[in-house]
Amino acid sequence: MATKEFGKVNEYLEPIITLELVNGAEIDCLVDTGFNGTLFLPRWFIEANNLVSVGEQEFNSVAQSESHFAEVFVAVVKWLGEEFEVRVIAGEYGSALIGAGMMLRAKLEIDYSASSVVIEKV
Output the domain CATH number for residue 15: 2.40.70.10
Determine the Cα–Cα distance for residues 73 and 50; give it in Å rounded to an integer.
10
Helices (H) and strands (E) in the chain, counts: 1, 10
High-pLDDT (> 70) share of the chain, %: 92
High-pLDDT (> 90) share of the chain, %: 79
Q: How far is CA 96 from CA 1, 2, 19, 60, 74, in A?
A: 24, 22, 9, 17, 15
| 31 closest CA partner among 122, 114, 107 | 107
Q: What is the pLDDT of residues 3-59, one digit of tens each?
A: 999 999 999 999 999 999 999 999 999 999 998 899 999 999 999 999 999 988 776
Which structural domain range is residue 109 located in?
A: 4-121
Q: What is the pLDDT of residues 8-19, one digit of tens each?
A: 999 999 999 999
Number of domains in the chain: 1
